[in-house]
Structure 1
Amino acid sequence: MSISASGLIAACRDTAVDAGLHIHSSLEPLGGEGSPIKPAVYEGGVYQHDRRWPPDGRAEPVDVLVVDNVPSQANRLEAALERHAGWLGLPRVVLDLSGVGALPPHLPATISGFRFPHRHADAYLRDSMLDGTPFQRTEIGRRLRDATSDHPAALLEWFPQALLFGFWQSHLAKGQSQAKLARSWISETVGYEPATTETRQLGLKGDPLNLSVEQRVQFDESDRSAWELTEEARGGGRGERLSELGHGQVPISVNDAAPGGVSFASIEQQATLSLAGLRRLTFGAEDPRNAPARAVVAAIGLFAHAAAFDRAFSLRSGCDLRSTGSTWTWLGEAGDTPVDPLDVASARELLEGCAAAAEEVGLPVGSAWPSEPLVVEPHEQLSKAIRKTYPEVDS
């Protein structure tokens, strides 16, 4: 069985009882089964621990580490959409930072709406200008500010991903919109039965000349290339060891060492598309726009998954994975049915079919999506905050 545009739209109708789609993938490190990988590390150098029922049906839960959690996977899916937005014709909103002034080279020159932490409800968009007017006072800004799951047209036009991954308008003034929408796509990667969680990545920062790390230096934090040897700190500069400037051999102590890679009995990715969740998206009871709108949002999620995880992928340094088997199961009215996994090409075709049907009922998607990005700029105070965080350094 394959997923078609007509079938997906039918499953998205108000009267449909289909639950959604479940995707299960068994993953393996590039080094082979059991090779250590780096799970996500959180504040304090800790992993996200849990106990889960293993997928092999054993009668007891086992220890697990969450390799990549739900918000992180949503970010990866949105990044995949960003990479293919032009090819798909998806709408794009871009915050242009070129007018802020000189910024460090590691910072982006623009921030895409696919990277906004809170999607259309993000403070960066709230604090932006469009053609010299505060964004929220423009027509597009007002429509996005006031959009809800019951009034989703502006989101379908400019931020359809927000209808899939959820949002919360929590950055507006008191008494303004606090609209929320729960995510309908959930994806997570988990490592089952870690061999250990205590290993630390020990090491030694080497130095071919083995300069003395005890030598005292004075330097200005704003320019570490301008330093001098000294016995005492003078004139307000920092008096530190030479090792603070990257010279000398410095062993990494157990207390300072980062958590090391972990070997797992198995690594599994679970993803679900909830049609029950998408039914929150509505233009009104039995409105003919409901099903095509939901199907477009669902198809965006399916494309994002295929684009992000259809081939070997890298989650972070030391965490490169590939799928050794993936099953897609449709949770439908007639029971659970295996369906053919989508690749990037077939997922794009599905999205185009759903978008064409949605256009026929007047929704602002598909060819109605703006062909050029909507470019906004940070307002004066946000620009000042950025410059204060990253003051210009003379070259």
Structure 2
Amino acid sequence: MPQHHTTPLTFEALKASCSPGGASVLTSVCRLAPAVGPHGTVAPAKYLSGKGSSATPVYAYTPTVVDGTVANAVILSSKQDQAHRRQTALSAAMRDEHHPAHAVMKRVPRITLQYEGSDEVYTDFDLPHRFSDGHIRAGRHDSKPVTATEAYRAARDATPRNMTALFNLSPISNAHGAWDASRRSNQLRQPSTMVSEIVGVLADQGEHSMKPLPRGAARVDPITASVQLTAAEAKAIADRQKNEMSEKTLKKLSKASELGLGHIPPSLESIGLVSCTEIIRSTVLSFATLRQLRFGGSGEQDIAFRTVLAALTLLGMALSDDELYIRANCHLIEAGEPEVKLDGRYGRSTQLDPVTPELAIDLLSQAYAYAEQVGDFKWNGQVFDVVGDPVILAKSVADDPDA
């Protein structure tokens, strides 16, 4: 791979990209590899094909281009999964006082959600639909329905012509997108400013490449190979655990093996792993998308607030990329430095150094200072607290009925 002269991403370059006529995108492309070496196999993301009890696990395949040739690839981490990982990384920095990014993240406005009787506090960084998540919409704020509060209604009424209300309530919704799909009218549809995915180019490009072989599974019980229980005995054991046993397990309970007792003979029932010649993580930050947003003030204020959102998004990318955990049986390493480019328009581009957490923290700090200088910037860690509807928690179960 040819080496290019690279430079750090500067705050001035980031600000210029958020200004009219600036760069269209910043891209980061990183080659990954199985941790054990090229012979290693990896577990792609699983999806369900079909509904209910007839649903079967499958992988998602996609065509890609390698050295000018179309090749079959498989999704290892989808765009939605990557967005969730960035949000989780930012949420961790917000919660952990010892995190290097805590000082900048504690200033970010957020929505919190807590159910009575639970110690767990969620934020719009944790929830998949961010400010418009169903858990938030069903809750109450200051003893009023969330959807009836002035601040929340103002955020729902935000448009690209003036995003200030959403920017000051749930900026992660500006950065990662939001679709207020359940609303009767005036549904806010804010595209994500960053998209990312990890794909693996299949080593087998033959006609059966998208039909992975089954994978073996088994269980060894060191105490006894087999436990022969009557139905009544199995039920009695289950009844003693029923308060901590999932409904799905209780419904299908018919033999000792479903209680975790005895051997399970080896079988080829699981979907298999795959081999890849290349694994590529690709990320795009769209300044063109950011430049569609305005905030009801001067043109310079628009630039400043966009720059804050761009720096926040880059921080999420840098923190997420630092933790290369995907799932079980998908252990990866970086095969080299990310190739980071800033679009220079008209076919030109600038090669950049990798965006590290330290650089992203500095960029966000500078963005705060710039926004405070030119606009009515109100990020002081304000929290819009929501109490969840207790009916939702009371009716929740661990099992997905469609899984």
Q: TM-score of the superposition, structure 1-length normalised?
A: 0.84
Q: Offset of 1:237 from its aligned partner?
A: 9.5
Determine which of 328, 344, 353 is the counterpart of 2:366.
353
Structure 2: gaps spanning 5 or more residues: 1-6, 49-55, 96-101, 243-249, 399-403
Equivalent residue, structure 1, for 2:163? 152
1:113 aligns with 2:154: no
Equivalent residue, structure 1, for 2:396? 389
1:25 aligns with 2:34: no
1:264 aligns with 2:282: no
User: What per-residue deviation string (whole Å, max 9, x for no partner) do you get for residues 246-290 of structure 1?
Assistant: 112123533xx3223222101001111111111111236972222
Partner SS, residue 314 of structure 1: coil
The amino acid that maps onto 1:339 is L
Q: Percent identity?
A: 27
Equivalent residue, structure 1, for 2:51? none
| Alpha-carbon distance between aligned partners in 1 of 2:85 and 2:376, rounded to the nearest angstrom | 27
Partner SS, residue 170 of structure 1: coil
The amino acid that maps onto 1:37 is V
How many matched pairs?
360
Pairing 1:1-395 to 2, within 5 Å after superposition: 1-14=7-20, 16-43=21-48, 44-54=56-66, 57-58=67-68, 60-85=69-94, 87=102, 88=104, 89=106, 90-97=108-115, 99=116, 101=117, 109-172=120-183, 174=184, 176-195=185-204, 197-212=211-226, 215-218=229-232, 219=235, 223=239, 225=241, 240-251=254-265, 253-254=267-268, 257-283=269-295, 287-309=299-321, 311=322, 313-325=324-336, 326-333=338-345, 335-364=348-377, 368-371=378-381, 373-379=383-389, 383-390=390-397
Which one has a larger percent helix, Structure 1 or Structure 2? 2
The amino acid that maps onto 2:393 is I
| Alpha-carbon distance between aligned partners in 2 of 1:336 and 1:3, rounded to the nearest angstrom | 13
Q: TM-score of the superposition, structure 2-length normalised?
A: 0.82
Q: Offset of 1:220 from its aligned partner?
A: 6.8
| Alpha-carbon distance between aligned partners in 1 of 2:238 and 2:142, rounded to the nearest angstrom | 35
| Alpha-carbon distance between aligned partners in 2 of 1:198 and 1:237, rounded to the nearest angstrom | 31
| Alpha-carbon distance between aligned partners in 2 of 1:28 and 1:292, rounded to the nearest angstrom | 38
The 3 A distance-change label for structure 1 pair 159 and 239 is: closer
Q: Offset of 1:369 from its aligned partner?
A: 1.9
- Asked whether the equivalents of residues 138 and 146 of structure 2 are also in contact (C-alpha less than 8 Å), the reply is yes
| Alpha-carbon distance between aligned partners in 1 of 2:267 and 2:75, rounded to the nearest angstrom | 26
